[in-house]
Amino acid sequence: MNIDKRLVRKDSLEKLFDILKQNSKTIYAPFSKNGKTSFMDAKSFAGISTGHIQTSESSKDIAFPRAEKILDYSKNKEGMSVKGIDFADIPEVVLWGVRPCDAIGIGELSSIFNWDYKDEIYNNRLSKVTVFGFSCNKSDEYCFCTSVGGNPGNTAGSDILFTRMGEDGDYLAEIITEKGLTVVSLAQNLFEKSETLEREKFLAEVPVRFNHEEIRKKLDKFFESKEWIEESLRCLGCGACAYVCPTCACFDIQDEAHGKKGSRVRCWDSCGFSHFTVHTSGHNPRGVQSARWRQRIMHKFSYMPERLSVYGCTGCGRCSRACPVDMNILEHLISIQEVTV
Amino acid sequence: MAEFEPKIVAFVCNWCTYAGADLTGTSRIKYASNVRIIRFPCTGRIDYMLLLKAFDEGADGIIVSGCHPNDCHYTSGNFHARRRWIMFRSLCDFTGINTERIKFSWVSAAEGAKWAAIVNATVTSIRELGPYTEYKKVAKYPEKEVTHG
Amino acid sequence: MMDNLYMPYLMRIDRITYEAPGVKTFMLKFVNEADQEKFSYKAGQFGEYSVYGVGESTFCIASPPTRKGYIECTFRQTGKVTNALSDCEEGSIIGFRGPYGNVFPIEEWKGKNLLFIAGGIALPPMRCVIWNALDLRDNFKDVTIIYGARTVKDLVYKDELKDWELRKDVKLVTTVDPDGESPDWKGEIGFVPTIVEKIAPSSKGTIAIVCGPPVMIKYTFPVLAKLGFTDESIYTTLENRMKCGFGKCGRCNVGKVYVCKDGPVFTLAQLKELPDEY
Amino acid sequence: MVDLIKRAKELIETSVVKVLIGYEQGTANKTRALFVEKADDADRLIFDSRCVQNLAAYVTKKEVKEKGKMAIAATLPVMRSIIQLASEFQVNDNNLLVLGITPESKLIEFANLVEVETFVHKYEIEIDARNKEMLDKLEKMTQAERWKFWMDELSPCFKCYACRAACPMCYCSRCTVDFNQPQWIPVPSHELGNLEWHIMRAIHLTGRCIDCDACYNACPLSIPINLLTKKMLADAKEHFGAYQPSLKGDHLMSTYKPDDKENFIQ
Amino acid sequence: MSKIGVFVCHCGENISATVDCAKVAETAGNYDGVAFSVDYKYMCSDPGQNLIKSAIKEKGLTGVVVASCSPRMHEPTFRKACAEAGLNPFMCEMANLREHCSWVHEKGEATTEKAIDLVRILVEKVKYNHSLNEIKVPVTKTALVIGGGIAGIQASLDIANTGHKVILIEKDPSIGGHMSQLSETFPTLDCSQCILTPRMVEVAQHPNITLYTYAELESLEGFIGNFKAKIRRKSKSIDEKLCTGCGQCTTKCPVKKIPSEFNEGLGKRTAIYVPFPQAVPNKPVIDRINCTYYIKGKCKVCEIVCPTKAIRFDQEDQIMEVEVGAIVIATGFTVKQPDFFPEYGYGKYPDVITGLQFERLASASGPTLGEIRRPSDDKVPEKIVFLACAGSRDPAKGIPYCSKICCMYIAKHAMLYQHKVHGGKSYVFYMDIRAGGKQYEEFVRRAIEDDGVNYVRGRVSRIYEKNGKLIVNGVDTLLNAMPVEIEADMVVLATAGIANEGAEELAQKLHISYDPYKFFAEAHPKLKPVETNTAGIFLAGACQAPRDIPESVAMASGAAVKVAGLFSQDELTREPIIAVVNRQAPPVYSSCVGCFLCVSACPYQAIEKEEIKNRNGELIKLIAKVNPGLCQGCGTCVAFCRTKSIDIQGYTHEQMYTEVMALLNEY
């Protein structure tokens, strides 16, 4: 599909929001609280955050919730009845205000859930989501989308990408997919045709900091490097980086029982936790934090490209922002690039 | 609609309150049947997590009871318990868990009548408070579809 | 509703066999016959067994695909789920999803000698392939099984060991660790690697399949190498922790390899390519 | 911190310690932990008001402990944590040397933990004004309002356990949440799982938390979970008297007084 | 694979009158894992028990729930029945349908519902029960008695007379304790020495008693039935085997001016000495602090005069280790020195003395041979004032509690004075007269009414010397607080009885608890007055609180019976309801992180530290370990442990969690 470019007046956004609401869409949009910005179920347009560089959490929750039921069971006299989730119950969602580095992450997440077995729970959730990307007009020292193949105005992953043309300006809307077009059709008049649409000059500048292909090649011979131990000594082994990451997909499966009935729940997990890989015997294949930190980097920059043909990193920089001990992935990647193996 | 019958779980120690409740029985003192007793060796053994679990699973009220200070069969289990209760109850209150629904008491093996009175008073007050829907709403997670941020 | 990868088959426990302290074998039958018909698997594959309300646990299918109509699994009580499984009775319903993982290339082994070396609770993953081979006995030349456990009590599949012992076309060597023997023990006494060295099976045209605790494996490989086995002719299985079984949950990776997809069966040559994270 | 750098070099060069834990300049105006194992690395040591991470979280970390005797550049909260850890037998004079940084940013080297304790006891643990105000505000609410407040605050928690990881007192190799027979705390991060996790955490830190705010600072979502431990601290003070970590091991919650006062037990 | 039997009892009509027992049994029969469910008129009857036994055998039950009366009533009955049928008794649980349900609720559906719930929670609990075996602990049938005062003597003799061995240790050179210092005893006024000395001799001669004087407890390890005590035998500097007790050395010793402890400083002794003539053993020790040889390196007069060559200047302290099964602590008390009342002038005025000093003055074996003479000038005092509560019941300066014995001994002192000094005048200042005890009140009345002792209710504010007299300023509160001034020749202070110096350290060595005044704590103030929290350690006499002689003796005999009871068994059998710290295979070993908060929480000091070492013997970690001999199974540690590494058998995490779950959910 060719990308169709339209003008959306700055005061039309709220109208668009209301129209979507009238069409019983659930809208997830960024809101700020405690100095952090997160996606929440937006009841009204007011309060939607626009000034943030990046949300604290990624938007992956929408298709890969932090905790979701995968089945219900109940025991009865006759035996057992088990019910999967009804995909029809999944609401139609508009994901509003997603940055390009999150939007592209959806594709990376999708490769994990579809590289071999197709995860229909994930796919169904995703199929109900329309992504409203918002280009970045500013960036910070953590951003490195351009180093991993993205850019502040990247259309990949978005159904519609909005770029604000100047501070307090109107928006350029790029309608990228059929899904996007369907939404546009609900509010045709808000998407005006215009000749004076420009975007590049309004986009943030994010310098390229490393070459990800080179990193990948280096990592092939980097497994035994002492670098991992030195770089990860201060890592405390929490899951903050994984949980804010748009592409981390490790999960756990847990049962929650209440007498005769209960549910099986899929919930996020992190390769950074020391118990993640531990066997019941007590043996732990990744027994030290350096092995777990290495796993995180290798998985994103070596294993995923090799097995799934995508990189597991969008350069959003969230993990570095979230890390309580300043484990900065960009810094480490640059140092890997600089080290001679 | 039938009157609301609160579910009340009692966590009691073996040596004082359990025996006290036995005495209530041998004295044939009647009390409300909403309460179910779970026997512990000592109030010192009562894990505060069990109280939360009782609310999780739908209890409307909780009674925790053991030996009076200085009467503990194990000399100090109840003293330890008391210190924990002070802090736990305060934390519950601080997080907004309804502390009126948790009754703490000392009931000795000789206080059969007191046990009946405690149960009846608790049932009455929980009946007035109604079902603990706030907690149940949080706990009934599996009925809910997705958790988002 | 579309396919849900996480939806287990309902299985009825048809028979429970007590194997050793804490070790049981379940014979499982599909509650739903249609499931049974759809279902097929090969030697070496595994599944996720679940007790509803408790959780899932990963272990291999211990019965050979040549036996139809049921699957068997053998497990040791070590954690939450295996404890709950152990509490199940005949007739109880549990969940099973699978089969997952790769297989022993039993077709490729036609015309060769087979040497099975197992230790302790690792006989089950091998039992599937042993029976598979024995059921197609004519395809192979000599079949040797070396099996060891800590004590006589800990040997699993005691009845089948007897069967194999009586069979003329199988050479069975059982061993227990020193001090693990009972007064009437007639088998070998010693650790598995030592016994392998003592028996010294010929490596010529032989495939070795080795399963056991890490220590046993570690000391058996050099013995096999000394006997002339090539890395390509030695097979083993990895038992990494898993949740999903189909390459998503992120637990079982060893380097770029997904044990649940690319394994659990590996040749020693393949293992040597992997980083030491298993 | 010229003194610190000089002393660090000496300690490493003379092999008095194998590793010194201090702060260095991190990225984006952050500071972070530095592990000095070679004398040259000591030049990277810094200390200023941004250095608030509680480094005591590292002294129980397996990978750090295995290096051998440690020295730590310890601010007051870090020293308090160390005393508490020592009272719980996690560190001792044989494996840890404390280079104290006083609230006036002066360096004092302590010969042993007893000296550290004496120093620490000079300063009472005080909840800062802003948080005190917050506690007051919450206490003035009705129980139902507090319930709503905490449900709103805790529901975003996705249980990354950064709070646990950053806390020096959370050194347990198996946390209650990792215990699954029975599963005391639900693993998924739903409302109930979150509530129970945070209540459990606060209770386990009662009488042990020294109010360093590491949990709050670590939280990627800035959930004010430190209010829970602060409340416990304030209450402990009120009920059982001033609280100080102490080498005597008279732990607040594993001891009692026969005349502990309460007003709710019937 | 649980196969649980549920046995619902009607208890005649006690349960069935309000609970539909058949319905309870029927409902329970439908639960997962219940293989057999039945209701019956009387489960505790023989046929009822047989019903259970045969079901266990026929159905192969793995667990039993008896739904009947309180487990406090019949748990032993049903557990025994299960055991007889071959089922581990701890696989049997009881649902209390009678006391907790049928007797307290009206007949109705709700009552039956409750009964069903009570059964269900125990059915679910039993699924997590484990077979437990009673803990057997061997018993070393030797008792250690610490302290050779009247309590220790009595306890030793009583235990020894039951045929068991006793080791009695006394820190002083002789046994006898405070009682040997007393003149006469209330309320009978018989001579203290006369009744005590035969007992002391009996101790020395008893074949079952080994006496070590001049000995103290160094350390103690182990638990009930199996203690290992280290005893320090302080050097006496003589060879006891050779010494005949002839007394040559004490007569010839040139250092003669040492204040005698036995005489409370009112008499003198030599550096090599026997504390008092009736001492047991009657052999001297050298006081090395005062002996010239030890100070200056020469003298050795005693060595020269000793006819048996028994003096050993180079003798060292000996540490000996003994194994004992029980311990009786009878270390007694001491009196608070009254110098904390400077206004009473003790120490400043020689004629202000303590009650214990008065005992020595009144004693026939004392420095004045029983005549009451004042220390300053040996004159017989014509006017004497006794001050009760000199320190007792005085939270501000002394101690808050009542020392209990003073009221009685003051009456005795005043009486003795009146008997010995005819025409003398005696006054007693008191707050209250506490004379509870057989013949005690009569005794005090006798002092007042027959012997004319003047009792003044009020306190003394000041004592000062004027013209060779001690002026006692006080008030008489019965006369409107009228000031009273008495010109006395001598003042006796009834100083408070307090715990021994070092009681705290001894308690720590013994791992027993003590009260805020450092008196040792009994296990239960009412029901276990002679037991301590540590099984196998008992208390006798004034080490637990101030006690008079009859009480001390009674306590000692009580403690002795406890010891004898313990020694009547070859093995101790204990319910296995104890805490256990988990152990796992390497590399984990245990989930315990060794914070040892449980140690401070345990009321029984039952938690020890265990070193976990790897194959090379390197210490990997230090973890908690519960001593099964000491643990009483309260579970306080369990609720404490953050890593859930401690569990208590019979009330495990899984069991209690399951009970809560089963109670509130449908099954």
Yes or no, beta carbons of E2 and C87 under 8 Å apart: yes
Distance from CA of D180 to the nearest CA of C (A): 7
Amino acid in the structure at residue E280: V
- Residue E649 pLDDT greater than 60, yes or no: yes
Is the pLDDT at B147 greater than 60? The verdict is: no
The verdict on a CB contact (< 8 Å) between D183 and C79 is: no
Ranges of each domain in chain D: 2-120, 129-244
- Amino acid C276: pLDDT: 86
Q: Provide the CATH number for the domain formed by B8-137 in this structure.
A: 3.40.50
Do E667 and A281 lie within an 8 Å CB cutoff? no
- Domain ranges (residues) in chain C: 9-100, 106-237
Handedness of CA C135, C138, C140, C146 (dihedral sign): positive
Grouping H, G, I as helix, E, B as strand and the rest as coil, residue E368 is coil
pLDDT of residue C1: 39
Contact in structure between A27 and A130 (CB atoms under 8 Å): no
User: Nearest to residue A28, comparing CAs of A8, A1, A55?
Assistant: A55
- Pair of tokens at residue C32: 């739903």
Percentage of the residues of chain C whose pLDDT score is greater than 90: 84
User: In CATH terms, is domain C106-237 a member of 3.40.50.80?
Assistant: yes
pLDDT score for E629: 83
Nearest-CB residue to E664 (from B7, B31, B44): B7
The neighbouring-strand residues paired with E286 are: E272
Q: Residue E614 — φ and ψ, nearest 5°?
A: -85, -175
Average per-residue pLDDT for chain D: 94
Torsion angles phi and psi, residue A149, rounded to 5 = 90, 5
Contact A254/D188, CB-based, under 8 Å? yes
Amino acid of residue E517: Y
pLDDT in tens, B73-83: 888 899 999 99
Residue A324 to residue D165, Cβ atoms within 8 A: yes
Asked if domains E142-329+512-567 and E334-498 share a fold, the reply is yes
For E587, the closest of A77, A260, A282 (CB atoms) is A282
Instruction: State whether residue B68 sits within 8 Å of chain D by CB.
Output: no
Backbone angles phi, psi at E167, to 5 degrees: -110, 120
Mark the ranges of chain C whose per-residue pLDDT is less than 50. Answer: 1-2
Say if D146 is an interface residue toward chain B (CB within 8 Å): yes
H/E stretch holding D132? helix D129-140
Q: A66 touching D, CB under 8 A?
A: yes
The 10 Å Cβ neighbour count of residue D262 is 13
Q: Could you tell me if D42 and D9 are in contact, meaning their C-beta atoms sit under 8 angstroms apart?
A: yes
How high is the pLDDT of residue B146?
43
Domain E4-126 has CATH 3.40.50: yes
Residue of C nearest to A288 (CA): C277
- E289 to chain C, any CB pair closer than 8 A? The answer is no
ipTM for this prediction: 0.94
- The CATH H-level superfamily of C9-100 is Translation factors (2.40.30.10)
Dihedral of CA atoms B89, B95, B97, B99 in degrees, nearest 10, equals: 30
d(CA C147, CA C157): 11
Closest CA to A93 of A179, A27, A42: A27
Is E663 in Cβ contact with B47 (below 8 Å)?
Answer: no
Which residues from chain D sit within 8 angstroms of residue A39, using beta carbons?
A: none
CB A63 within 8 A of CB A125: yes
Residues on chain C touching E127 (C-beta within 8 angstroms): 87
In this complex, do E665 and A258 lie within 8 Å of one another by their Cβ atoms? yes
Cβ-Cβ contacts under 8 Å, D209 against chain E: none
Strands B8-13 and E490-495: unpaired
Q: Give the tens place of pLDDT for each residue, A103-133.
A: 999 999 999 999 999 999 999 999 999 999 9
Closest CA to C126 of C49, C200, C55, C207: C207
Q: Give the DSSP letter string of C171-224.
A: EEEEEE-TT---TT--SEES-HHHHHHHH----TTEEEEEES-HHHHHHHHHHH
The pLDDT of residue E399 is 92
Token digits for E599?
């140690």
C78 has a chain D CB within 8 A of its CB: no
In chain B, what are the domain boundaries? 8-137
Residue B90 in tokens: 């305060």
Question: Is A57 an 8 Å CB contact of chain D?
Answer: yes
- Which residues 1-60 on chain B approach chain D with CB closer than 8 angstroms? 48-49, 52-53, 56
Dihedral of CA atoms E447, E449, E450, E456 in degrees, nearest 10, equals 40
Beta strand pairing call for B146-147 and A67-76: antiparallel
Of chain A residues 156-215, which have a CB less than 8 A from chain C? none
- Judge: A87–C1 Cβ closer than 8 Å, yes or no: yes
Tell me which of B140 and C266 has the higher pLDDT. C266
Please answer whether residues B105 and B55 qualify as being in contact, where contact means their C-beta atoms are separated by less than 8 angstroms: no
What number does CATH give the domain E334-498? 3.50.50.60
Contact B138 D192 (CB under 8 A): yes
Cα gap C231→C269, rounded to integer Å: 5
pLDDT tens for each residue of E358-414: 999 999 989 999 999 999 999 999 999 999 999 999 998 889 999 999 999 999 999
D173: contact with C, CB 8 A cutoff? no
How confident is the model at residue A273, as a pLDDT? 95
Helical packing angle, A212-219 and A329-338, nearest 10° = 70
For residue E595, how many other CB atoms are within 10 A of its CB?
27
Choose the closest CB to B33 out of E114, E651, E657: E114
Adjacency order of strands within the sheet including E469-476: E460-466, E469-476, E482-488
A307: Cα separation from own chain's centroid:
20
Residue B141 has a pLDDT of 54
Q: Do residue A141 and residue D28 have CB atoms under 8 angstroms apart?
A: yes
Burial class (CB in 10 A: 0-12, 13-18, 19+), A248: buried
Query: Do A161 and A155 meet the contact criterion of CB atoms below 8 Å apart?
Result: yes
Nearest to E211 by CA among E154, E260, E166: E166
Q: Which two tokens stand for residue A281?
A: 């015997």
CATH 3.50.50.60 fits E142-329+512-567, yes or no: yes
Q: Which residues of B touch D196 (CB under 8 A)?
A: 49, 52, 56
With CA atoms as reference, report the closest residue to A149 among A222, A219, A218, A206: A206
Instruction: List all residues of chain E from 296 to 315 with a beta carbon under 8 Å from chain C.
Output: none
Instruction: Name the band, by pLDDT with cuts 50, 70 and 90, for residue A198.
Output: confident
pLDDT (tens digit, 0 to 9) for every residue of chain D, 266 residues total? 789 999 999 999 999 999 999 999 999 999 999 999 999 999 999 999 999 999 999 999 999 999 999 999 999 999 999 999 999 999 999 999 999 999 999 999 999 999 999 999 999 999 999 999 999 999 999 999 999 999 999 989 999 999 999 999 999 999 999 999 999 999 999 989 999 999 999 999 999 999 999 999 999 999 999 999 999 999 999 999 878 999 988 899 999 998 899 999 99
Q: Looking at the partner chain, which of C2, C93, C239 has a beta carbon nearest the beta carbon of A79? A: C93
**Interchain contact A/B (3 or more Cβ pairs less than 8 Å):** yes
Q: How far apart are CA E179 and CA E106, in angstroms?
A: 63
Residue carrying the six token digits 């002794």: E269
Query: Which pTM does this prediction carry?
Result: 0.85
Q: What percent of chain D has pLDDT over 70?
A: 100
Neighbours of chain B (3+ CB pairs under 8 A): A, D, E
Residue of C nearest to D180 (CA): C80
Give the Cα separation of C164 and C172 in Å (integer).
6
Cis peptide before C125 (omega within 30 of 0): no
Side chain identity at B34, as an amino acid letter? N
Residue with tokens 């800590």: C150
* Residue written as token pair 């009488």: D207
Q: Which residues of E touch A (CB under 8 A)?
A: 30, 32, 584-588, 661-662, 664-667
Q: How far is E600 from chain B (nearest CA, A)?
A: 11
Do E624 and E608 contact (CB within 8 A), yes or no?
yes
Enumerate the H helices of chain A as residue ranges: 12-22, 100-114, 120-127, 178-186, 212-219, 227-232, 240-244, 289-298, 304-308, 318-322, 329-338
Note whether C79 contacts D180, CB cutoff 8 Å.
Answer: yes
- Interface list for D 176-235 with C (CB within 8 A): 180-181, 183
D72 contacts chain B (CB < 8 A): no
Considering only CB atoms, E640 lies closest to which of D174, D250, D254, namely D254
Q: What is the pLDDT of residue A341?
A: 56
Residue D117's contacts (CB-CB under 8 Å, 6 or more residues apart) are D83, D245, D246, D247
Task: Spell E24-58 as b/e; 16+ CB within 10 A means b.
Answer: bbebbeebbbbbbbbbbebbbeeebbebbbebbee
Contact assignment for A283 to E665 by CB distance below 8 Å: no
Is E633 part of the contact surface with chain B (CB cutoff 8 Å)?
yes
The residues that bridge with E646 in the sheet, in sequence order, are E581
Specify the 3-state DSSP secondary structure of D72: strand
C-alpha–C-alpha distance, residues E14 and E41, integer Å: 10
| B142 or E554, higher pLDDT | E554
Instruction: Give yes or no for residue E221 having a pLDDT over 80.
Output: yes
Rounded to whole angstroms, the Cα distance separating C152 from C174 reads 9
* Residues of chain B positioned with their CB less than 8 A from the CB of E96: 22, 37
Instruction: Establish whether chain B is in contact with chain C, requiring a minimum of 3 CB pairs below 8 angstroms.
Output: no
- Cβ <8 Å between C16 and E1: yes
Q: Determine, for residues B45 and E635 on separate chains, whether the beta-carbon distance falls below 8 Å.
A: yes
